Amino acid sequence: MGFTWWMPDDQTCRGFFKYLPRRYLTDLEDFTSVEITQIEDLLLRDNTKNHSNSTDLINLRELQKDHLLNDFILCVHQSIGNSRYLRIPDSHELIPDTAIEFAERLLAIRKRLLKRLGE
């Protein structure tokens, strides 16, 4: 875990990939897949290096990721979260170390990519 305890939750792997145990969010902002496709098409055609479109796309994809993981959390809560006999495990008990390492590398890429887009 290192010194990640003082970092904002969404900047750690645990927060970014919503490791269990975690509560289900009811107030996630909406997004549409159509919008994602449109920006991707625009970025593939556009050679002007408009970084704001790239940043918009990343924000939308991360929102899509949040929805996907939030749906997973809901499924976990509905299946075992209300039972007085069962506990919700930590994600580390469910996914292999290779995936945890992958998540850390992905977060490092995010940091580097956002820095590159901000330059």
Partner 1 sequence: MVILPHALPSLLKIHSKANLSDNEILKMIVSINQGLRILEPNSEEIHKNQKEVIEIRDSSTAAIEYGRLIVDFSALISSQSLVGLGEILRSDRLYLEGNNISSLDVTTNPSILYLDMLDNLSLRLERIEEWLEMD
Where on the chain is the footprint of partner 1 (CB under 8 A)? 17, 20, 36, 40, 43-44, 46, 49, 51, 53-55, 57-58, 60-62, 64-65, 68-69, 71-72, 75-76, 78-80, 83-91, 93-96, 98-99, 102-103, 105-106, 108-110, 112-113, 116-117
Nearest approach, Cβ of 30 to partner 1 (angstroms)? 16
Is residue 67 within 8 A of residue 30, CB to CB? The reply is: no
Nearest approach, Cβ of 14 to partner 1 (angstroms)? 12
Output the CA angle 80-101-58, nearest 5 degrees. 85
Q: Is 54 left (phi over 0), alpha (psi -120 to 50) or beta?
A: alpha
